[in-house]
Structure 1
Amino acid sequence: MTQAFVGVAHDLNAIVIAFRGTQEHSIQNWIEDLFWKQLDLNYPGMPDAMVHWGFYNAYHNTTVRSGILDAVQSVKMIYGDMDIMVTGHSMGGAMASFCALDLVVNYGARITQLMTFGQPRIGNAVFASYFNKHVPRTVRVTNEHDIVPHLPPYYTHFPQKTYRHFPREVWLYKIGLGSLVYSVEKVCDGSGEDPTCSREYL
């Protein structure tokens, strides 16, 4: 079940839309499905752009989208026009991405920041390029060896078919010896699929 929260951050003068991550009891089945069931859908108005059917429909064809749009409109009626920040974790990151793109393309919203955590891939290379053009202020945080950002799988030899992340990834990992362990935050390249970041281990 997809859930989202819409609120106002007065210190940032922004509307914040936050999507809940994958529920713990369903994460294993969800990961297995992403390994084996890549269901493609043509993204409306963008030739050759393909997206994951399940993620697209979880945002566009449920009451979540209408609820968010109504909430954003209500907030703007009370507080006036505001920038929008969108965030989400895991599957919620996929929903957050579709939401940010929807708000920009279909409603002319100003997305000052999209930040996702452990987000799976949601579309092919054409879609990733289209997304980056419309929602450039994006940070995808990946955590060490988390499997979810590597789903659906990336197939190097099938560039038209494979799914691809949009930039920019920030990879969190640990280095050290013995008891001296340091947390490192690496800003990855602009490809969305930096082989020296989280993909280094898969």
Structure 2
Amino acid sequence: MTSMEHTITTADNTGDHGSISRQTFDELTHYFKYASSAYSPVCLRPNGNTLVLQFGNHISDVLGFIARDDDRKELVVALRGSASITDAMLDANILLVPFLTPGVSLPPKARVHAGFLAAWNTVALQITATLAAQRQLHSGHRLVVAGHSMGGALATIAAVSLLQLFPASPVMDQTRIYSYGAPRTGNEVFAEYVNAEFGARAFRGNPLVHTNDGVPTMIPTSLDRLTRKIHPGIEYWQHVDPPSPSTTLRCAAGGEDPCCSASIPSGGITPAHATYLGITVPTPFCL
């Protein structure tokens, strides 16, 4: 196996609550640089790669970019986390609504956070049109979506949409998700759908829930059926500092491992939310 294959090592799949490999740690760090750079108003060379599109919407205040890495053969969509009053209003709209976005069909009972879905829909057509054009030119490039905080929740919604709009082919690997410090995004049906479709490709880098970051558990699982949400994906929890493979655990599959970040009562937005893998948000990696 080479570094270009970007797969989880066997050691990372043999059991739960074990430390991760250096390769997985380095990949989580690599994609967090995109998530952190999404906070920059202009990022001319995201992670040293080609900027395809810097997108945004003035009404929803969603910002981000699409970058192309020709060495890794990837098109990376990075979405910014909360950074304004408008973002805070979207965060607060926690009602669950049907997953309605152009060209996408989920199980009938799948529901997602109303504010996050509304935010995604303000930039979805712009992003998908650009990716369609890029895919014509670079048919072997797979899709990767990354984001921190609200951007991580948007990344999950975006990846679900892109997986249907741009299905894998013999020359293009399937879409991958890297979310960091993201709040819970959808109901149990939505989480089960994400787990079934993405499996180990749904990296909840948020459980590098850097130590006691409370944002991933800020929306409790004990709410009523109109608002109750759970995490999908496999949690990676950096349980102590400093960040390293040995201090980062791969948690049980299913998204809500009670022995990982969920074992700590949410303290809301703590200082840990602003630093992941030794990188302070919003450090830009744009040269």
Above 0.5 in TM-score?
A: yes
Q: Size of the alignment, in residue pairs?
A: 190
Alignment CA distance shift 1:80-1:167 (3 Å) = closer
The structure 2 residue matched to 1:30, chosen from 84, 88, 110, is: 88
Matched, 1:131 2:194: yes
**Contact residue 125 and residue 160 of structure 1 kept, 8 A:** no
**Structure showing greater relative contact order (alpha-carbon pairs closer than 8 Å, 6 or more residues apart):** 2
Residue 178 of structure 1 aligns with which residue? Answer: none
Alignment CA distance shift 1:91-1:33 (3 Å) = closer
Give me the whole-angstrom Cα distance separating, in 1, the residues matched to 2:166 and 2:221. Answer: 32
Matched, 1:174 2:233: no
Give me the whole-angstrom Cα distance separating, in 2, the residues matched to 1:85 and 1:48. Answer: 26
Give me the whole-angstrom Cα distance separating, in 1, the residues matched to 2:130 and 2:243. Answer: 41
Matched, 1:59 2:120: yes
Deviation of 1:161 (Å): 5.7
**Contact residue 81 and residue 150 of structure 2 kept, 8 A:** yes
Alignment CA distance shift 1:200-1:18 (3 Å) = same
- In the superposition, the TM-score normalised over structure 2's length comes to 0.60
The structure 2 residue matched to 1:151, chosen from 201, 218, 231, is: 218
The structure 2 residue matched to 1:201, chosen from 239, 242, 264, is: 264
Give me the whole-angstrom Cα distance separating, in 2, the residues matched to 1:80 and 1:167. Answer: 27
**Contact residue 100 and residue 135 of structure 1 kept, 8 A:** no
Give me the whole-angstrom Cα distance separating, in 2, the residues matched to 1:98 and 1:190. Answer: 19
> What is the DSSP-based 3-state SS (H/G/I as helix, E as strand, rest coil) of the residue aligned with 2:230?
coil
Alignment CA distance shift 1:145-1:15 (3 Å) = same
Give me the whole-angstrom Cα distance separating, in 1, the residues matched to 2:174 and 2:110. Answer: 22
Deviation of 1:4 (Å): 1.8
> What is the DSSP-based 3-state SS (H/G/I as helix, E as strand, rest coil) of the residue aligned with 2:75?
strand
Matched, 1:72 2:131: yes
**Contact residue 194 and residue 233 of structure 2 kept, 8 A:** no
Residue 28 of structure 2 aligns with which residue? Answer: none
Cα deviation 1:122-162 (Å, max 9, x = unaligned) = 11111100111222211112211111101322118x67862
Deviation of 1:6 (Å): 0.5
> What is the DSSP-based 3-state SS (H/G/I as helix, E as strand, rest coil) of the residue aligned with 2:248?
strand
Give me the whole-angstrom Cα distance separating, in 2, the residues matched to 1:113 and 1:162. Answer: 25
Matched, 1:43 2:99: yes
Residue 204 of structure 2 aligns with which residue? Answer: 140
Matched, 1:100 2:159: yes
Deviation of 1:47 (Å): 2.3
Structure 2: runs of 5 or more not aligned: 1-60, 101-105, 266-287
Alignment CA distance shift 1:170-1:48 (3 Å) = same
**Contact residue 172 and residue 185 of structure 1 kept, 8 A:** yes
- In the superposition, the TM-score normalised over structure 1's length comes to 0.83
**Contact residue 159 and residue 175 of structure 2 kept, 8 A:** no
Residue 65 of structure 2 aligns with which residue? Answer: 5
Give me the whole-angstrom Cα distance separating, in 2, the residues matched to 1:32 and 1:129. Answer: 24
Give me the whole-angstrom Cα distance separating, in 2, the residues matched to 1:32 and 1:58. Answer: 7
**Contact residue 91 and residue 150 of structure 2 kept, 8 A:** no
Give me the whole-angstrom Cα distance separating, in 2, the residues matched to 1:98 and 1:182. Answer: 28
Give me the whole-angstrom Cα distance separating, in 1, the residues matched to 2:195 and 2:128. Answer: 22
* Percent of residue pairs identical: 31
> What is the DSSP-based 3-state SS (H/G/I as helix, E as strand, rest coil) of the residue aligned with 2:239?
strand
Matched, 1:20 2:80: yes
Identify the structure with the greater strand proportion. Answer: 1
